[in-house]
Amino acid sequence: MNYPEFKMFLMSKISERVGSDTQVCIRKVPKNNGVLLDGLTIRHKERNVAPTIYVENYWQKYLDGCDEEHIVDMILLENREYSVDRDIDIDDFLDFGKMRDKVMYKLINFEMNRDFLDTVPMRRVLDLAVVYYYRVDAEGLYGATCIIRKEDMERWKTDEEELWRLATVNTPRNEPANIRSMCECLLEYCAMQIEEDPRFMDNAEHVLDMAGISPMYILSNTSQVFGAACILYPETMKDVSLRLGSDFYVLPSSVHEVILMPADKGYDSEDLSEMVREVNASDVMPHEILSDHVYRYYADRGVIML
């Protein structure tokens, strides 16, 4: 079956399995960078919240040969895992006094999100935009987040400047930076691969030797969600420059993490940018792309620039 037929199959089969008191629908969900994904929800008529399950992930499993009935089983299992068996009280979200400690920021691409940025409080940084969100702490929602829109800001009787002040305190506190060496990450990757296939050891030493040519670090936050925003943490960036003993390049590998490389090892920024563009085009999901540009952190001034 083709993709539209696959979606109809899922809606029909899941509706049969969950009963008449539950509504099953698939709708377009706007994601970062103007991407639209098909989100499937299975919502009990007496509940005001339901998890969104992205159909594209399961369509790929079907293309890879997974049985369609097994796919239905996996979707129902995912829905049970993330469902909340009660209504969510939204009153707390309307009270800015209760939300002040929850306001955080993340980074997205400016040009790729122009229409979306018209609807939210934001500020420009480099070729990026800072936007604000809060995490929903209700039990069972597993760190679900909500973007702060202009209507939220107006309801709270606040402005972007105050959101920025709050987020610069809350984000590093709630999502501390996590800096790991590329070699450490590759060691972990190699260990997992060797456990699955001992033949991987044949190439592991070569991979690690290549990583040892120059010190490189991966910067994210502890949750590894929206971790690229750690480049806005002044103390973190200063710490990296002291660790490397130089200025350094920032390669935006996704909205969730960046790669840091010393600037005194002869790298050409244009070559690095070309590498980032190639990786974005081939290996990064479209809605997780941050930028095609490489940035440089100047240690003597404590600033990051294009």
pLDDT in tens, 192-212: 655 666 555 455 455 555 545
- Of 17, 84, 9, which Cα lies nearest the Cα of 52? 84
Q: State the pTM of this model.
A: 0.84
What confidence category does residue 95 fall into, taking pLDDT thresholds of 50, 70 and 90? confident
Asked if 11 and 25 count as a contact pair (C-beta separation under 8 A), the reply is yes
CA neighbours closer than 13 Å in the CB half-sphere of residue 15 = 11
Own/partner contacts of 87-91, CB < 8 Å, gap of 24 or more, are 87/46, 87/47, 87/48, 87/49, 88/48, 88/49, 88/136, 88/138, 88/141, 89/138
- Of the given ranges (92-96, 111-115, 299-303), which has the lowest mean pLDDT? 92-96
Mean per-residue pLDDT for 87-105?
83
**Buried b or exposed e, range 14-50, using 16+ CB within 10 angstroms:** beeebeeebebebeeeebbbeeebbbbbbbeeeeebb
Q: What is the pLDDT of residue 7?
A: 96
Q: What is the pLDDT of residue 143?
A: 65
For residue 187, the one-letter residue type is: L
d(CA 104, CA 173): 10
Domains of the chain by residue range: 3-82, 91-174, 177-305
pLDDT at 220 over 80: yes
Work out the number of other CB atoms within 10 angstroms of the CB of residue 74.
Answer: 15
Mean per-residue pLDDT for 294-300?
96
Dihedrals φ, ψ of 255, to 5°?
A: -65, -10
pLDDT at 225 over 90: yes
What confidence category does residue 297 fall into, taking pLDDT thresholds of 50, 70 and 90? very high
- Three-state DSSP class for 216? coil
Mean per-residue pLDDT for 26-40?
95
Crossing angle, helix 55-63 and helix 3-18, to 10 degrees?
A: 110
d(CA 133, CA 89): 18
Q: What is the pLDDT of residue 48?
A: 67
Q: What is the pLDDT of residue 199?
A: 58
Residue 59 structure tokens: 């369509």
- Of the given ranges (32-36, 143-147, 217-221, 223-227), which has the lowest mean pLDDT? 143-147
pLDDT in tens, 148-192: 999 999 999 999 999 999 999 999 999 999 998 876 666 665 556
Residue 279 host element (H or E): helix 269-282
Residue 38 structure tokens: 């098909």
Residue 9 host element (H or E): helix 3-18
